[in-house]
Amino acid sequence: MTVSIVVVSHSEKIADGAVELAAQMAPNVVILAAGGTGDGRIGTSLEKVMAALDKAAGGDGAVILADLGSAVMTAESALEFVDDPEKFLLADAPLVEGLVAASVAAQGGADVEAVKRAAEAVRGPAHGGDAGRQVVEEGSVTGQGPDFTGDFEIINQAGMHARPAAKIAGGLSALAADVTVNGADGASMTALMTLAAGKGSVLHVEAWGADAERAVNYVGGLVQAGFGEP
């Protein structure tokens, strides 16, 4: 089983399109659209959201992403009616990027908390930030070096594009480790993409925390396998 995702948008087309986009990267994840009103207008419907949550109820929980203010309010309202609220979490994240990151994390087997974190990890760049690059300062602040490191050369033709970045960020979000890749936050898909690391460039991975070694090996495994691409 995997965590399901529910997309709440004012527009049925936005919700359906976002689901279509995310499904490309997460074929085994149930991603449900709850867009527009029951009669096909712009707006949000409690009934639609609750129907989606109902469909997701049998699984390992669901993470909800919403677009604008009242979609968030409708999602929050729906959460007041669910039987086991700890299984359903509303992510505070930009809809499309958050959805893709969440879907990839769910595809990687992350639990509901980790899927929510994966969605929210993309929000730095959407709020301005330093060209999307989120540097984890932990090591430099505490003066403690990383618990585990590794250097891996990119071998696939296309380098670090969206799908590899999503794979790295998605998998790392399920691990108990803070990870940087060439200084960028490893759990942030957008931060990884802004590295613009092409074929032949070397990724320096540093990790802190209980799963530090697993995290570095996870990234290394993906990179060395060319992310499953030519």
Q: Is the Cβ of residue 48 or residue 87 nearer to another protein in the bound state?
A: 48
Q: How far is the CB of 35 from another protein (least distance, A)?
A: 12
Q: Given the rule CB under 8 A, which residues bind another protein?
A: 37-38, 41-47, 69-70, 73-74, 76-77, 80
Radius of gyration of the chain (CA): 18
Q: Is the Cβ of residue 37 or residue 217 nearer to another protein in the bound state?
A: 37
Strand partners, 208: 178
- Is 204 considered catalytic here? no
Q: Among 10, 127, 161, 204, which one carries the catalytic annotation?
A: 10
Q: Is the Cβ of residue 37 or residue 201 nearer to another protein in the bound state?
A: 37
Q: Is the Cβ of residue 38 or residue 85 nearer to another protein in the bound state?
A: 38
Burial of 102 (0-12, 13-18, 19+ CB in 10 A): buried
| Contact partners, residue 225, CB within 8 Å, separation at least 6 | none
Amino acid letter for position 62: A
Q: How far is the CB of 94 from another protein (least distance, A)?
A: 17
Distances, alpha carbon 48 to alpha carbons 9, 35, 96, in Å: 11, 8, 19
Q: How far is the CB of 26 from another protein (least distance, A)?
A: 29
Q: Within a 10 A sphere around the Cβ of 24, how many other Cβ atoms? A: 11
Dihedral sign for Cα atoms in the order 35, 39, 45, 48: negative
| Contact partners, residue 30, CB within 8 Å, separation at least 6 | 2, 4, 5, 55, 56, 59
Q: How far is the CB of 68 from another protein (least distance, A)?
A: 9
Active site residues: 10
